[in-house]
Amino acid sequence: MNNLNNDEGTPLASLDVWEDDVLSRYPEPGGPAKSKEEFRNYDKPELDGVREFYRLNHKYQTYENVLAKKANFLKFDKKEMPWWQAMEYLNTLVDDSDPDTSLDQLQHLLQTAEAIRADGHPDWFVLTGFIHDLGKVLCLFGEPQWNVVGDTFPVGCKFSDKIVYPEFFADNPDTYDERYNTSYGVYSHQCGLDNIHMSWGHDEYLYHITKDYLPEPALYMIRYHSFYAQHREHEYDHLLNANDQEMFKWVDKFNPYDLYSKSPVPPVVSELKPYYEDLLAKYFPATVKL
């Protein structure tokens, strides 16, 4: 995996393409469903970047990969900066090839957070909306897209056929490893998600950055907001304990804000910055280690 070519590192034109694919699979309840053609329009639409993305994701997201990435990135020795500066650093992920939006990552996060705030939720919920994608800085540290975004799922046990493009797990060596290819794999009945290794990506990374500072519901929102095989399909109930089941109610509350709050009208960052800087200071130390 250290010898990936460029196509294997970046099959998506931008990270937003994955989020649009999620929207096409899970359209807003009560709203008109969009066709995939309405989300992206590239010169060669027949080149299915999302399909190729998941082929790579499902091939390389192994138990061994996850342990290796945790050993590397959870040392938090890549960068240290003030929180707001880290959010601005995330803006360098904006891709000019994205035809649908001129909003940078910071503006999308502000839209999400402002929608949460408008509905009167607690400030830690608002803060969660604001920072929930910060883990995407992994791309800026050289991680391929399939190790940053995508639907997440447990590794170390059988891959559910309700995960998007399940046929691509045929290329994953864990599919044929007796340690990992049963319903429980290396785990036990209702052992709890805190004892489960999830596929590597921005969700898991940011959870470890924030786990000492935010309330438990916020941490579930961050860690599992891309775990669609569970919160949409309930495919891993046999691994969840009672606390997981209760906390997933918060994941369900969060996801509509993440998926459906995008708007072409950009927030005025300069007006919102003082509020969010104060909110960051309330819950976090002055700098974040990435």
Q: What percent of the chain stands above pLDDT 70?
A: 88
* Residue 76 domain-assigned (yes or no): yes
* Residue 73 domain-assigned (yes or no): yes
| pLDDT score recorded for residue 158 | 98
Neighbour count for residue 181 (Cβ, 10 Å): 17
| pLDDT score recorded for residue 71 | 98
Copy the structure tokens of residue 130.
């604001």
Alpha-carbon separation of residue 75 from 66, 91, 205, 209 (angstroms): 14, 23, 11, 10
Instruction: State mean pLDDT over 132-157.
Output: 96
* Residue 135 domain-assigned (yes or no): yes
pLDDT at position 213 over 60: yes
Per-residue confidence band for 96, with pLDDT thresholds at 50, 70 and 90:
very low
pLDDT at position 36 over 50: no
Copy the structure tokens of residue 122.
């607690």
Instruction: State mean pLDDT over 230-249.
Output: 97
pLDDT at position 203 over 90: yes
Contact 289, 73 (CB under 8 A): no
| pLDDT score recorded for residue 224 | 97
Average pLDDT taken over every residue of the chain? 90
Q: Which of 169, 133, 151 is nearest to 24 (CA)?
A: 151
Q: Which of 78, 88, 136, 143 is nearest to 110 (CA)?
A: 88
Q: Look at the chain and report how many structural domains it folds into.
A: 1
pLDDT at position 14 over 90: no
For residue 22, the enclosing domain spans 6-289
Least confident of 101-115, 227-241, 263-277: 101-115
pLDDT at position 193 over 70: yes
pLDDT at position 99 over 50: no
| pLDDT score recorded for residue 107 | 87
pLDDT at position 103 over 70: no
Q: Which residue has the higher pLDDT, 180 or 17?
A: 180
Neighbour count for residue 231 (Cβ, 10 Å): 19
| pLDDT score recorded for residue 41 | 42
Per-residue confidence band for 4, with pLDDT thresholds at 50, 70 and 90:
low
* Residue 1 domain-assigned (yes or no): no
pLDDT at position 62 over 60: yes
Least confident of 7-11, 100-104, 232-236, 240-244: 100-104
Instruction: State mean pLDDT over 248-260.
Output: 93
* Residue 206 domain-assigned (yes or no): yes
pTM for this prediction: 0.90
Q: What percent of the chain stands above pLDDT 90?
A: 74
Q: What is the rounded distance in angstroms from the CA atom of residue 110 to the CA atom of residue 266?
A: 9
